[in-house]
Chain A
Amino acid sequence: MDSALALQLLIQGILLGGVYGLIALGLSLIFGVMGVINFAHGQIMVMGMYASYWIFVLLGIDPYVSLVAVAAIIFVLGYAIQYLVVNRILDYPEAMQVLPLVSTGLILENIALLLWGPDHRSPQTALGLDSIWMGPVMVDTSRVIAFSLAILITGLIFLFLKKTTMGKRIRAASDNRTGAVLVGINVDRINNFSFGLGAATTAAAGCLLVPIMPISPYIAHDFTTAAFIVVILGGMGNLPGAMAGGLVLGVAESLSTLVLPATLKQVVSFTLLIIIILFRPQGLFGGKK
């Protein structure tokens, strides 16, 4: 086995894993606060990717620059989904919460299909084809930027949750809903905000992927699944675990191409999922029930 290739794949895996981590962070945040699994997560991310794509094609603004605006747009989308759909199903059993969110995902996917069609789109962004040498291996500049920004955004979200009053309210509601209601926190508003924040997070991750991979409406559920697996790996509702789980999945998928054809990379993620569920159902780093 070629060790330079293995190192190359390892680094690529870590870089992509950071973005997986960011996507999963949004999912974990939503789960932590509301106990709802957002089965429209990948679809929301793809909406973010298309928003970024549109801004790039129509206005010529690079995805890295428009990221904040896209996150804001998708925050509104997430807030609306929470308000219109999720708030109505919070008290239902988990199994019944699945369908409305899966349907939301299908609706978003078909909206994307109507607006942009089924073709793959790969915008030629400024840094899309650049690469840099890191010692003996060559990596795409866009992947390095994606990873760095993913880590930066994760850091900012942690800072927000740790330091701001709103962030503390979100943590309080996630820790103990009854307690949060009793101290006077408007938990409905926290729910809306958290879903918006979770959606904005995954949209930001989507923007980071725009220069790396072709966009199509159909990539969405792969990402929903990936995010779900990452969250289970890291522990449900465990936010640092989501980032760590993202890195694990990124590296595992990437290294698997040494021995498996790339089209079989989902075998790797599902194998990981099954192993975790069998031997450590609380996730690698522990989580909420």
Chain B
Amino acid sequence: MLKVHDIDVYYGDMQALRNVTLDVKKGEITTVIGSNGSGKSTLLRAISGILRPKTGSIQFNDKEITRTPSSGIVEGGISHVPEGRQLFPTMTVLENLEMGAQFSHMQKSAKKTMQEVFTFFPRLKERLSQKAGTLSGGEQQMVAMGRGLMSRPRLMMLDEPSLGLSPLLVSTIFEIIKQINESGTSILLIEQNVFQSLKISNHGYVLENGTIAHQGSSDQLLGNPHIRKTYLGL
């Protein structure tokens, strides 16, 4: 459903992505792994329309979205749960969730969507009137993912959802990502937690210095000696 074809992305003069080609298939979880500075977040920013690729194209459901503004990308069914969560800290959890539904077709079903969000994150229901900035890291991640779900995305992109969470919470978050996927949302997951993310995903890409170094089914990647050595320390 998402086809990234041969994109180059720059920050000023510095090239962050080189000839990146990537496919997310409908109904699947696709993982991109890579170390810090390998260009993982840049990739998501380019898909979301925050950065513009210099060359190459991005298509979503056979529609060209390379030059679509961010709001159009969200409206078209891609939501981006960013690195660092980027919540609205002085607004309540309820308001943060409401802000996830920006367009009229999302607002119409917002009440229903919110109930679905609560099935994934029951904790949020107890926190609705609390300011997002006062929540714990794990709860903030839940708000960020809940907000991302409020746009009823067909593709949800998650940028390091496990970052800074306790090991127990990490497992919970991965479990929930799996459930979200099973409920019909395709997932593009960016992670440094290589083992757990490949475990729940169908396909994987390894980004090294801005280019795709390896790709394949998650099982293949888990078995790849280079990846075992570099990313899993086995």
Contacts and interface: CB of A to CB of B under 8 A. Distances in A.
A185 B95 CA distance: 14
Given A165-B107, A182-B74, 4 more contacts: A172-B88, A179-B87, A182-B48, A186-B71
A71 B147 CA distance: 35
A240 to B, nearest CB: 12
A184 B91 contact: no
If over half of A's interface residues share one DSSP class (helix, strand or loop), that class is named, otherwise mixed; here it is helix
A184 B103 contact: yes
Given A168-B91, A172-B91, A175-B90, A184 B82 contact: no
A280 interface: no
Most buried by B among A168, A175, A184: A184
Interface of B: 48, 50, 69-71, 73-75, 79-80, 82, 85-91, 95, 98-100, 102-103, 107, 147, 151
Interface band, chain A:
10 to 19
B95 to A, nearest CB: 6
Interface string A86-107: 0000000000000000000000
Nearest to B157: A182
A184 B70 contact: yes
11 contacts: A165-B107, A168-B91, A175-B91, A176-B89, A178-B82, A179-B86, A182-B82, A183-B102, A184-B71, A184-B74, A186-B71
Contacts of A175: 87-91
Interface in A181-202: 181-186
B82 A168 contact: no
A184 B100 CA distance: 8
Nearest to B102: A184
Interface string A147-178: 00000000000000000010011011001101
B141 to A, nearest CB: 14
A175 B82 CA distance: 15
What 9 A-B pairs have minimum CB-CB distances, sorted nearest first?
Answer: A184-B74, A179-B86, A175-B88, A184-B102, A184-B71, A172-B88, A178-B86, A182-B80, A172-B99
